[in-house]
Structure 1
């Protein structure tokens, strides 16, 4: 049987890179997509199962060309992991329309565009969509009016995809990572924030990129063949606890 092919956006670093490496280790072939060409070139290494494709997922023309190139290069697409995203936080009163659109066009428009462009290939393979949202799409937080709203949109888009595409054998699911120790997170999380998350998360720690990748790999696999329309919070129990005051732990 021909090895399955995954298309992963935001693959140059973080969760996208970890997922690429995990699937490659399981004999998938991987189309690694990113708009940062230098970082993607450095990430892809020498694995012959991976190919780099430079693409801005917020640009419809870029996405259309990328989807054609991936299909021509690999002959099929079995799973699409919509992981590309930007984090741009700020108070509601200081979030102008430019910031709003900068977040939405990558985090939400990009998921829509890549999913739509790869739909013909996914119909052929009866494949899987895995969209990466965030715990911020499930619970509100300060400074995330654009980011949190974009991720809530990804969750609903996933459900729409599952409802409409199931008749073609396409599964659509969503992962909502909690705090993960990525370079992106560490760039915006002060020590006070890190300590506060530690207190609020039942497992008392950040997740790792590989732990999120394992969840993604499962949803891409045949082991999840009857799973669609689901939202999985991979967050150490953060979303389940609601108000979890440290003083009430014991």
Structure 2
């Protein structure tokens, strides 16, 4: 008789583990906080008492997100339209955050860009765009907020990934960008630790309902995507947000310079759900998944 995997556990609500007012009086500044994982990370901190200032490139989407987050949590949330590649727009948003709240305790550097493309079909400009958004954007975010998190002895969390832990086809640009963020984090931890600042990475694996999973999971392969994860399911937003709450909390006040992987063990068991080596030898088989980038 074959042995079946144990039923997977669902992500638990943060309020069953952490105090409701854990971040009362604290302020979060988050890039990319108007959508996806970063929006849910922002929601989690607000749910536990923090106020937030989120930034992103899409004005209407950002304003809507700020209103929604405020209504859902009862906390204050403001939005500014920002391109993280442009330091002046970030500094302006940070100044507005300080004018509104008077402080910044936590920073999430989460703005990112991604698309599928093999090295042979990605232009220098497209490669540079991802590098600029991810690495330069993270650096600019750090520089703009650093004077204020020094004042509060705060904490910064960079959002990375797990795909660069191995060679993942069609992701050279993102792999290089995320590896750079990981390296930046280590230096920040060393340089700013003596000033009381903590710097860490959160590296989500495949999270259900995100654009990344939708793009990288071929049609009809969702069951395989779940089964290949040691804990037998794709991640949920709650898995990432619970880790975020921990890393910003005083429970983690001796944790810095770390890469905190939240992936159910997935990076140990798989390289890609794309057919290999067919996907690299006969890339026309996956043309429908590739977006042309100039």
On whether the aligned pair clears a TM of 0.5, the verdict is yes
Q: CA deviation at 1:32?
A: 1.5
The reply on whether 1:108 has 2:130 as its aligned counterpart is: no
Please give the per-residue CA displacement for 1:28-78, whole angstroms capped at 9, x wherever unaligned.
111112111111122122344211122111112211211222122211100
Structure 2 residue ranges without an equivalent (≥5):
1-22, 273-294
Deviation per CA, 1:61-98: give whole Å up to 9, x if none.
21121122212221110010111111122101111111
| Maintained 8 Å contact 2:24/2:48 | no
Question: Offset at 1:243?
Answer: 7.3
Q: Which of these residues, 65, 81, 101, is aligned with residue 92 of structure 2?
A: 65
Native 8 Å contact 2:108 2:156 kept in 1: yes
> What is the CA-CA distance between 1:180 and the residue it aligns to?
0.8
Is 1:143 the counterpart of 2:183? The answer is no
Q: Which runs of 5+ in 1 are unaligned?
A: 245-250
Distance 1:75 1:238, change over 3 A: same
193 and 68 in structure 1: CA distance in 2 versus 1, 3 angstrom threshold: farther
User: Aligned equivalents of 1:99 and 1:238: distance in 2?
Assistant: 28
Does structure 1 residue 86 correspond to structure 2 residue 113?
Answer: yes
Larger Rg, first or second structure (1 or 2): 2
Cα pair distance change 1:182/1:9, threshold 3 Å: farther
Aligned to 2:159: 132
Match of 1:223 among 239, 251, 259: 251
Contact persistence 1:88–1:99 (CA under 8 A): no
Residue 247 of structure 1 is matched in structure 2 by: none
- The 1-side partners of 2:80 and 2:271 are apart by 43
Distance 1:131 1:144, change over 3 A: same
The answer to whether the 8 Å contact 1:137/1:155 transfers is: no
How high is the TM-score relative to the length of structure 2?
Answer: 0.78
Runs (4+) off by over 4 Å: none
Counterpart for residue 180 of structure 1 = 207
Aligned to 1:81, the other structure's residue is in SS state strand
Deviation at 1:183, TM superposition (A): 3.5
* 8 Å Cα contact 2:168-2:271 kept in structure 1: no
Greater Cα shift, 179-188 or 190-199: 190-199
Superposition deviation, residue 240 in structure 1:
3.2
Residue of structure 1 equivalent to 2:232:
204
* 1:75 maps to 2:102: yes
Name 1:248's counterpart in structure 2: none
CA distance in 2, matches of 1:30, 1:72: 13
**Matched residue SS, 1:173:** strand
State the alpha-carbon separation in 2 of the partners of residues 193 and 165 from structure 1: 44
| CA-to-aligned-CA distance 1:137-178 (integer Å, 9 cap, x gap) | 322200110011101111111101101110110000001110
Q: TM-score, normalised by structure 1?
A: 0.91
CA RMSD of aligned residues (A): 2.0
